[in-house]
Structure 1
């Protein structure tokens, strides 16, 4: 059987694959539209999205809001497929970005890095925008369902469940990252179970999307078998022709080996997974990169005590300046060996999914059985 489709509310993607939002400037309209055209759901990342605007340093909020509108419109010009945006709760301009995305009639808002408890208040009931929180536990999913029902009389349209093998900032304590109790294989069934009563009572389907370390078509099958309706993949889409980052950024993934991947303590107070490079070596050796903070982009960032600016470090990497940049990556980044078109990647994931079909599935009558198997 081929990969199934993924429905979130009235939206249906031909393939159950969501491209993860990657900032700063790694997943914009170019990558998102290519994924949507290939049958998945493309996602524009909003952190620092206004970096090309002339007033980025002088009016951070206005620059990012304007740039988000431009990117949504550009993506819609390139595709008729499903486009989403990723807006982190901890962004200081969270409300402005959500309002702009809704006004631009974005298909889906994905929101994590904190619990988006008040996300529905920015979206009136006439809006077609779907709201999908990103969580790292069944407890968080249950809290959101209860809060949204009591405050707004609505439920999330889906959940992305992100495990500890994801790239970038992680919603786990460092000591939990290698604990099997917090693995994605454990988290997905737990969230499916806790959401089920809300589905039954409301009559609304709430798909669960597995994220963090999903790499192959066989991985997709594994998580669908565990109850997920789809997967979110970020790292795989970096090494594509259409990824919006500089070629040097993509090549860092191709060049990475397993020893290259490391957990860093981010200035925003969370652990993060990144590819080791000269920049990280300098930071770990005690270097403090001088900077002023014109943005205050993350609510939890203690920029006065930080050795570097997380926004500028991510932006430098996106531009190809590896010596001055931080490269966030998932746990499977070392498995990437080449840069390919999005269409090629999507086709390979479909092929891998079909090839991973358990041998027992082939015993169904009519599916290429030897003649003696169906004779009395």
Structure 2
């Protein structure tokens, strides 16, 4: 297993922990993954919801909380720490600037096209920094669009790409109709993305690593997706059922209650995207059309029609992270049902590496 190299950032294990919000992956989980040799990710989505002034000053609370979480993570590890920022967040620019100002190792930007980020950073005076800029896409076509825009307008390109397939948890970058059909295999998305990036690697004279996510759960999965061209993998679901995950125990146990794949479902989120969740009484309520009245004190997601939304996605996700499963739901990938126990991050990482190495010696590559 080769180390992941993103420019001058070298990470021993090519494993990136998914940035899961709200309040699922914070400094606790991120630092544990980093200490085990991977990249630990903090989710910036709704990160300030635990701050006392969030309802009155959500932007300030988010920045303050993000600063606190990055600093705490860095105090707990010498490994790589990154931040996941959704472009759909109305304060995404402030969160990206804060990530860079706090000297995080990388920022992953998804849930939208970050076409104007280089201009925003230049306007903020952020032209010389070590934080790697990583974009998250759901297709090679989207990656090509971003790279063409950055290259032509700003004479630079992102440092790496995360391509996330339709088997991931949380909000998905696919239409619900696409998810009900035979999904595009992740290995095909990886190959398409690698191919789309090749001209930019030649133009700028450097490697652009592709990181694959969505449905990867074992070292076996990891080995074969890397044979398709990925330089690393991104796993979220696998790290939820760990002691170090920042979510409440009740949230983690919701994964353990899934007997099989039928315990996972896809819902319509108020933000206009499908979302993959663990089935629960609360999920059944919203699927029946029941509403959960709320007052929107802020417009946190640009894609949310809060005036007509049946519930506040930020609030129900935060409720779940705090263990209030009767007032929220757990986002989860397709393999969440495979979790059987709560274990340590170190054990999960060791198992992934051992499975990968065993597969590398025994199995032929997928073609």
**TM bucket normalised to smaller:** over 0.9
SS of the equivalent of 1:322 reads coil
Q: Name the structure 2 match of 1:229.
A: 231
| Structure 1 residues 274-289: aligned runs within 5 Å | 274-289=277-292
Q: Which of 260, 263, 272 is residue 260 of structure 1 equivalent to?
A: 263
Is the contact made by 2:268 and 2:274 (CA closer than 8 Å) also made in structure 1?
yes
**Matches of 2:363 and 2:341, distance apart in 1:** 34
Residue 159 of structure 1: CA displacement?
0.3
Indicate the larger mover: 136-145 or 180-189: 180-189
Residue 271 of structure 1: CA displacement?
0.5
Q: Name the structure 1 match of 2:27.
A: 29
Is the contact made by 2:194 and 2:210 (CA closer than 8 Å) also made in structure 1?
yes
**Matches of 2:169 and 2:101, distance apart in 1:** 30
Q: Structure 2: which 5+ residue stretches go unaligned?
A: none
Q: Name the structure 1 match of 2:167.
A: 165
**Matches of 2:10 and 2:179, distance apart in 1:** 33
Is the contact made by 2:166 and 2:183 (CA closer than 8 Å) also made in structure 1?
no
**Matches of 1:47 and 1:34, distance apart in 2:** 20
Q: Name the structure 1 match of 2:274.
A: 271
**Cα distance per residue 1:95-138 (max 9 Å; x no partner):** 11111111111110101001111122344331111000000011
Over aligned residue pairs, what C-alpha RMSD do you find?
1.2
Q: Name the structure 1 match of 2:151.
A: 149
Q: Name the structure 2 match of 1:98.
A: 96
Is the contact made by 2:63 and 2:95 (CA closer than 8 Å) also made in structure 1?
yes
**Cα distance per residue 1:263-300 (max 9 Å; x no partner):** 10000000010011111111122211111011211001
Matched, 1:296 2:299: yes
Q: Name the structure 2 match of 1:366.
A: none
**Matches of 1:179 and 1:10, distance apart in 2:** 41
TM-score normalised to the size of structure 2? 0.96
Q: Name the structure 1 match of 2:320.
A: 317
Is the contact made by 1:98 and 1:122 (CA closer than 8 Å) also made in structure 2?
no
Matched, 1:331 2:331: no
| Structure 1 residues 101-250: aligned runs within 5 Å | 101-123=99-121, 124-180=126-182, 182-250=184-252
SS of the equivalent of 1:304 reads coil
| Structure 1 residues 37-116: aligned runs within 5 Å | 37-116=35-114
**Matches of 2:290 and 2:178, distance apart in 1:** 28
**Matches of 1:324 and 1:303, distance apart in 2:** 18
Q: Structure 1: which 5+ residue stretches go unaligned?
A: 362-376
Is the contact made by 1:132 and 1:158 (CA closer than 8 Å) also made in structure 2?
yes
Is the contact made by 1:249 and 1:318 (CA closer than 8 Å) also made in structure 2?
yes
**Matches of 1:215 and 1:178, distance apart in 2:** 21
**Matches of 1:27 and 1:255, distance apart in 2:** 21
SS of the equivalent of 1:182 reads coil
**Matches of 1:232 and 1:360, distance apart in 2:** 22
**Matches of 2:176 and 2:42, distance apart in 1:** 28
**CA 1:178–1:10 in 2, change beyond 3 Å: closer, same or farther?**
farther
Q: Which has the larger radius of gyration?
A: 1
TM-score normalised to the size of structure 1? 0.93
SS of the equivalent of 1:305 reads coil
Is the contact made by 2:267 and 2:287 (CA closer than 8 Å) also made in structure 1?
no
SS of the equivalent of 1:70 reads helix
Is the contact made by 2:171 and 2:273 (CA closer than 8 Å) also made in structure 1?
yes
SS of the equivalent of 1:111 reads strand
Residue 181 of structure 1: CA displacement?
6.0
**Cα distance per residue 1:203-243 (max 9 Å; x no partner):** 11100000000000011101110000000000001000000
Residue 178 of structure 1: CA displacement?
4.7
- Runs (4 or more) in structure 1 with deviation over 4 Å come to 178-181
**CA 1:138–1:360 in 2, change beyond 3 Å: closer, same or farther?**
closer
**Matches of 1:247 and 1:179, distance apart in 2:** 34
Matched, 1:354 2:360: no
